[in-house]
């Protein structure tokens, strides 16, 4: 069986481009004992993958140059040499950007297509949803009536953060960069306030939106947007640091106002995390998220491009803010 | 009764000088109901007092221009119109830099001179000791075998932080700025390693001292010293931010490498605090500190200048690193 792959052609210096990727076509071998052959259905593009393109310590191992790009993929088992998986099973795993591929049974988890849209497992019930859940509830710990600010508010994580904050009774202030996103967050997700960081008066507008200051700042972006929020924090503020998308493509480390004096005078907490820190507790998050989804308290939002060849476009689009909610590429339909 | 006072003459712009202070002499009135007249015995100088000289939000209210400087003072009751205090009682409180003064009974706490040196109540059993205790144990949470780095290691807080870290079985790396301090920390307090931040090869020496990376960084200083430590943090590092003495006298906020990406890739925690955050738990800290002191596991170190008129010199000396351990001024002997 022939399959297409997308590989890391070269480590990007700054913003990745189409030249960051190269395409190959290879034959998929027969599965060895414990392996299956998969047909990819959906692949996720996520900002953290940019970090893996660098040859530097990050929280996930770097991709090797020439290696197939790997990320969250939902796939269908089309051949099996595993006692755990049958042909037709739908699985999820950290898999290659490839139309078909061999995978070991230990790297896969079966998902039940009867329990809702498959794509939820890459979004609201998957890594972004779980990231939102623990970052907000375990680090941010918002109380009813407190003000929660979330940057990257229209993204896969931000949309869930804001909705969970509403569920716990907090006031939610989102930060986003287009009028379409702002309208979606205000009118569909019922965020209390949404501020456009591209506005000339961003700092003043943010201050007006956070009339009682900021108790929790869920940081997906970093950089000067975060500087503006940090000026408004209250005593005992909590700042989960989930992403720094504003910085991922900088060619050298960025200087900014030191945060320590601000944390000091406000007895504030700032904590970085990655979803795998909570690996032992994923089921707890998924149970709550699925319940809220079923009750209509959470909405899932996805932006889906069609076609395997769209993967680089989707990935590059993350850094231009192209997506609302989870950004996915549909590669193939499941078999009947 | 005539008394001398030291007041804030003018808000310093940058480093304070002798001109920051002005001297007055005033008569002390008779105490009203619930008040006492105090004779000051010892006054504490502390870096946080620099923040109170600014007209900006900090964690403690600013001093007013013309106001008597206030800080930790141990005093003797010489007249009383309070049912709670007798003449001869030794008390501690946040009191004025004055040879004598009136104080309300609610602002004072009696101390028992039979339980050890009075000055301990401004140092190891007082605010600096309690600050060290909670910052290290509640935020830093060092485990046996972990590496704890403390900056400002020879100061009132730093000397206690390092000793408590030794008690819990951590490896302790101090950062200080003179050979005298380094020798004291290594040979008297048995710190495992002490590095001089004024060394040309500071970063390399620090790295060599922290062969297993940094699990806890107790930050008393901020600025580029902290940048150097933060480059070495391990996954799940904890960073109590206790002081930022390197920054207190800057005329404008300092730029530095943003810490968020570092906290993110290491799932690290940074938290500011002030000792009063733990107000409900002071007795717990004092009990442990007194026990360790009695058992010889903790040593108290103080630098004491003699004479009320030395207060500005001592205060200014904090920013030049003049002191080892708690810096105090002795104002008068207790009465027989």
**Same domain for B164 and B244?**
yes
Distance CA A73, CA A44 (A): 6
Do residues A129 and A290 lie in contact, with contact meaning Cβ atoms separated by under 8 Å? Answer: no
Same-domain check for residues A78 and A200: no
A29 and A165 assigned to the same domain: no
| pLDDT tens for chain A, residues 1 to 336 | 899 999 999 999 999 999 999 999 999 999 999 999 999 999 999 999 999 999 876 667 899 999 999 999 999 999 999 999 999 999 999 999 999 999 999 999 999 888 789 999 999 999 999 999 999 999 999 999 999 999 999 999 999 999 999 999 999 999 999 999 999 999 999 999 999 999 999 999 999 999 999 999 999 999 999 999 999 999 999 999 999 988 888 888 789 999 999 999 999 999 999 999 999 999 999 999 999 999 999 999 999 999 999 999 999 999 999 999 999 999 999 987
Residue A336 lies in a domain: no
Domain limits at B224? 127-278+286-292
CATH number of the domain bearing residue A186: 3.40.50.720
The verdict on residue B259 lying in a domain is yes
Q: In this complex, how many residue pairs, one in chain A and one in chain B, have their CB atoms less than 8 Å apart?
A: 123
| Pair A56, A184 in one domain | no
Instruction: Answer whether A257 sits within 8 Å of B262, measured CB to CB.
Output: no
CATH code (residue B91): 3.90.180.10
Would A322 be classed as within a structural domain? yes
CA distance A314 to chain B (A): 24
Say yes or no: B181 and B274 in one domain.
yes
B335 occurs within a structural domain: no
Q: Which pLDDT tens digit goes with each residue over B160-210?
A: 999 999 999 999 999 999 999 999 999 999 999 999 999 999 999 999 999
A94 and A213 assigned to the same domain: no
Above 70 in pLDDT, residue B148? yes
Give me the interface pTM, i.e. the ipTM.
Answer: 0.93
The answer to whether B258 contacts A51, with C-beta atoms less than 8 Å apart, is no
B230 within a domain of the structure (yes/no): yes
Q: Find the CB nearest A257 among B253, B263, B277.
A: B253
Q: What is the 3-state secondary structure (H, E, C) of chain A?
A: CEEEEEEECCCCCCCCCHHHEEEEEEECCCCCCCEEEEEEEEEECCCHHHHHCCCCCCCCCCCCCCCECEEEEEEEEEEECCCCCCCCCEEEEEEECECEEEEEHHHCEECCHHHCCHHHHHCCCCHHHHHHHHHHHHHHCCCCCCEEEECCCCEHHHHHHHHHHHHCCCEEEEEECCHHHHHHHHHHCCCCEEEECCCCCHHHHHHHHCCCCEEEEEECCCHHHHHHHHCCEEEEEEEEECCCCCCCCCCCCCEEECCHHHHHHCCCEEEECCHHHHHHHHHHHHHHHHHHHHCCCCCCCEEEEECHHHHHHHHHHHCCCCCCEEEEEECCCCCC
Residue B82 is predicted with a pLDDT of 97
- Please judge whether B263 and A272 are an interchain contact, meaning their C-beta atoms are less than 8 angstroms apart: yes
- Residue A158 shares a structural domain with residue A218: yes
**Rounded to a whole number, what is the distance in Å from the CA of A111 to chain B's nearest CA?**
29
d(CA B50, nearest CA chain A) in Å: 13
Nearest to B266 among A265, A270, A272 (CB): A272
Q: Chain B: nearest CA to A273, how far in angstroms?
A: 4
Residue B274 lies in a domain: yes
Provide, as residue numbers in chain B, all residues whose Cβ is less than 8 Å from the Cβ of A268.
271-272
Distance of CA A85 to the CA centre of its chain: 28
Cβ neighbourhood burial of A255 (10 Å; 0-12, 13-18, 19+) = exposed
Does residue A335 lie within any of the structural domains? Answer: no
pLDDT value of position A56: 78
- Closest CB to A241: pick one of B242, B263, B277: B263
My answer on whether B58 and B36 are in the same domain is yes
Q: pLDDT at position A170, please?
A: 98
pTM of the predicted model, to two decimals?
Answer: 0.94
What pLDDT band is residue B57 in, cutting at 50, 70 and 90? Answer: low
Q: What pLDDT was estimated at residue B143?
A: 98
Q: Are residues A80 and A141 in the same domain?
A: no
Mean pLDDT of B9-27: 96
Candidates B244, B261, B277; nearest CB to A247: B261
- Average pLDDT across chain B, whole number: 95
CB contact under 8 A, B267 and A51: no
Chain A residues inside the 8 Å CB shell of B243: 264
* Domain count for chain A: 2
CA distance B181 to B327: 14
pLDDT value at B94 more than 90: yes
Assess whether B70 and B163 both reside in one domain: no
Tell whether A82 and A61 lie within a shared domain: yes
CA closest to A244 among chain B residues: B261
> Which of B272, B275, B279 best tests the A interface by mutation, with the highest count of A CBs <10 A?
B272
Quote the Cα angle for A129-A131-A134, to 5°. 105
Whether residues A142 and A249 share a domain: the answer is yes
The confidence score (pLDDT) of residue A58 equals 67
| Domain-embedded: residue B336 | no
């Amino acid at each position: 069986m022939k399959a297409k792959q997308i590989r890391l052609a070269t480590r990007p210096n700054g913003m990745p481009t189409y030249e960051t990727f190269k395409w190959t076509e290879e034959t998929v071998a027969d599965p060895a004992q414990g392996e299956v052959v998969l047909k990819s259905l959906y692949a996720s593009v996520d900002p953290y993958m940019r970090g893996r393109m660098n040859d530097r310590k990050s929280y996930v191992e770097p991709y090797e140059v020439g290696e197939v790009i790997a990320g969250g993929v939902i796939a269908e088992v089309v051949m099996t040499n595993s006692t755990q998986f049958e042909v037709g099973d739908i699985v999820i795993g950290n898999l290659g950007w490839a139309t078909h591929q061999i995978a070991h049974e230990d790297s896969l988890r079966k998902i039940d297509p009867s329990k809702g849209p498959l794509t939820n497992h890459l979004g609201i019930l998957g890594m972004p949803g779980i990231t939102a859940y623990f970052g907000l509830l375990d680090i941010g710990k918002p109380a009813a009536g407190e003000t929660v600010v979330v940057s990257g508010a229209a993204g896969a994580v931000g949309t869930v953060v804001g909705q969970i904050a509403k569920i716990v009774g907090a006031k939610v202030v989102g930060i986003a960069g287009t009028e379409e996103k702002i309208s979606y967050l205000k009118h569909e997700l019922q965020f209390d306030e949404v501020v456009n960081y591209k506005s000339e008066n961003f700092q003043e507008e943010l201050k007006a939106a956070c009339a009682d200051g900021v108790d929790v700042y869920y940081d997906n972006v970093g950089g000067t947007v975060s500087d503006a929020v940090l000026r408004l924090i209250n005593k005992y503020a909590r700042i989960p640091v989930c992403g720094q998308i504003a910085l991922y493509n900088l060619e050298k480390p960025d200087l900014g106002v030191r945060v320590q004096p601000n944390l000091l005078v406000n007895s504030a907490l700032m904590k970085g995390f990655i979803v795998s820190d909570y690996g032992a507790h994923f089921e707890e998050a998924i149970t709550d998220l699925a319940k809220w989804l079923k009750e209509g308290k959470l909405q899932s939002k996805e932006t889906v491009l069609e076609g395997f060849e769209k993967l680089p476009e989707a990935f590059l689009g993350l850094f231009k803010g192209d997506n609302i909610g989870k950004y996915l590429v549909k590669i193939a339909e499941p078999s009947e």
